[in-house]
Amino acid sequence: MASAVRAVSELVEEARLKFVQEFGEEPQLAACAPGRVNLIGEHTDYNDGFVMPMALPMVTVVVGKQNSGHDVCIVTLNEDADQPRRVDFNLQTDLVSGKPRWANYVKGVIHHYRAPPVPGFRAVIVSSVPLGGGLSSSASLEVAFYSFLQQIKPDDGNEVAKAIACQQGEHSHAGVPCGIMDQFVAVLGKKDHALLIDCRSMEAKPVPLLDTSLVILITNSNVKHSLSGSEYPTRRRQCEQAAVSLGKVSLREATLKELEEAKDRLDEVTYKRACHVIEEIQRTEQAAEALKSGAYKEVGKLMVESHNSLRDLYEVSCPELDELVAAALEVEGVFGSRMTGGGFGGCTVTLLQANAVDKTISHIKEQYSGNATFYITTPSEGAQALSFSS
């Protein structure tokens, strides 16, 4: 009932075959990086707060080979990427944003690569992360690409700096002012663990998540409302304004008490946004503690509070996500459920007992007005270099 996740080796083989077909020779290098699901801590990363994502078994794979000269040719096998799916550009003259849009994510990574100059190369991309579904196919593409470049021309190996370079690439070339969470977990994700990331200090603590009686179910609403692009920068601005009004560098530094004291000085919308962020940062730390001690009911309760806050205070949910969460919560054995990612569509994440998975999926299918896709996921490893023999 849930969709099967394609094996990495299968993706590598598909990309290899395409490379041979397109370029008439074998690729020599390969790398991959995962998508992610955020368990809790939404819209807190760009407020210097805590987030708790885990890396997914779905990955983006890049295979390729270095060229002489400064020419690059990249092909994506993903049919959801905009056309054309093959781009040719010169590293010295054409490393600027343009069309197709998907290539901007790659150009951004090349631009911010930490051991310049990057030599010419040819590459093929394939991914099992759904594009635009809120599971961060964009960061998985950036980090997979960075990891590929590291094999052509190694940098100093600093992993946090790598995540930041990929984030900067998304800012400068894709024009998306994203926080650091997605790239961070795509680089540093750890098998059998979620990561509690402090986005102020850029430190991460692994939180064990290997209880086989527990399942993390992702439900893709398969909708993406057009609001998602414009509302994200608006939310960022509102948070910055709230922090300034409170006399803080970021909302991470603010307490609920301080927010209440400043309530008269803030308009209602700014107040609500700040309230979500300050409470969500607290919830995320509490959820990490609860998860560590196996208090799944408590984790679930915090997830539901997070969803309600994103719906009512931060106003980034949508009827489809609300429906999916409500349906999941009706099933016995479900601890909690919430929207995950930026909002206005994409996915929900549900924490539940393993023996309740089938009935949960059936119930959500029955209740949901749209057509959902389900993934049963396990916390997986961050970016890796790959070989063709394995």
The stretch among 14-22, 130-138, 330-338, 371-379 that binds ligand ADP (CB under 6 A) is: 130-138
Give the count of beta carbons closer than 10 Å to the beta carbon of residue 345. Answer: 23
Complex with Mg ion: residue 136 or 147, whichever CB lies closer: 136
Q: Which of 32, 37, 141, 181 binds ligand ADP (CB under 6 A)?
A: 141
Among 138, 219, 306, 317, binds ligand ADP (CB under 6 A): 138
- Give the DSSP letter of residue 264: G
* Minimum gap (Å) between residue 352 Cβ and Mg ion: 26
Q: Where are the alpha helices (DSSP H) in the chain?
A: 8-23, 102-112, 137-152, 159-169, 181-188, 227-245, 256-261, 268-292, 296-312, 319-329, 357-367
Residues in the interface with Mg ion (CB under 5 A) total: 2
Select the binding partner of residue 132 from Mg ion, ligand ADP, none (C-beta < 5 to 8 A, by kind): ligand ADP
Q: Is 101 in the site for ligand ADP (CB under 6 A)?
A: yes
Q: Answer yes or no whether residue 189 interacts with ligand ADP by CB under 6 A.
A: no
Phi, psi of 299 (to 5 degrees): -60, -45
Please provide the DSSP assignment of 64-107 as one string.
EEE-SSSEEEEEE--TTSPSPSEEEEETTT--S--SSTHHHHHH
**105: contact with ligand ADP by CB under 6 A:** yes
**Is residue 125 near ligand ADP by the rule CB under 6 A?**
yes
DSSP type of residue 188:
H
314 near ligand ADP (CB under 6 A): no
Pairing of strands 71-76, 86-90: antiparallel
Looking at 44, 47, 128, 136, which residue binds ligand ADP (CB under 6 A)? Answer: 136
Q: Is there a contact between 345 and 223 (Cβ–Cβ < 8 Å)?
A: yes
Query: Whose Cβ is closer to ligand ADP: residue 133's or residue 179's?
Result: 133
> Which among 30-38, 87-95, 108-116, 137-145 is the span making contact with Mg ion, rule CB under 5 A?
137-145
Nearer to ligand ADP, 63 or 290 (CB): 63
# binding residues, ligand ADP (CB under 6 A): 19
Is residue 165 within 8 A of residue 383, CB to CB? The reply is no
List the interface residues with ligand ADP, window 336-355 (CB under 6 A): 341
Residues linked to residue 219 through DSSP beta bridges, in sequence order: 348, 374
- Shortest Å, Cβ 182 to Mg ion: 6
- Which 3 state secondary structure label does DSSP give 336? strand
Percent helix, strand, coil in the chain, to 5, is 45, 25, 35
- Is 138 an interacting residue with respect to Mg ion (CB under 5 A)? yes
Listed residue (173, 211, 77) closest to 131, CA to CA: 77
| Cα 178 to the center of its chain, rounded Å | 10
340 binds Mg ion (CB under 5 A): no
Q: Does 368 engage in binding with ligand ADP (CB under 6 A)?
A: no
CB-count exposure of residue 263 (10 Å: 0-12, 13-18, 19+)? exposed
Stretch that binds Mg ion, among 64-72, 129-137, 153-161, 185-193 (CB under 5 A): 129-137
The residue at minimum Cβ distance from Mg ion is 138
Burial of 230 (0-12, 13-18, 19+ CB in 10 A): exposed
Q: Tell me, yes or no, if 182 is annotated catalytic.
A: yes
Binding partner of residue 141 among ligand ADP, Mg ion, none, CB under 5 to 8 Å per kind? ligand ADP
Site of interaction with ligand ADP (CB under 6 A): 60, 76, 78, 81, 101-102, 105, 125, 127, 131-138, 141, 341
Q: Which residues are catalytic?
A: 182
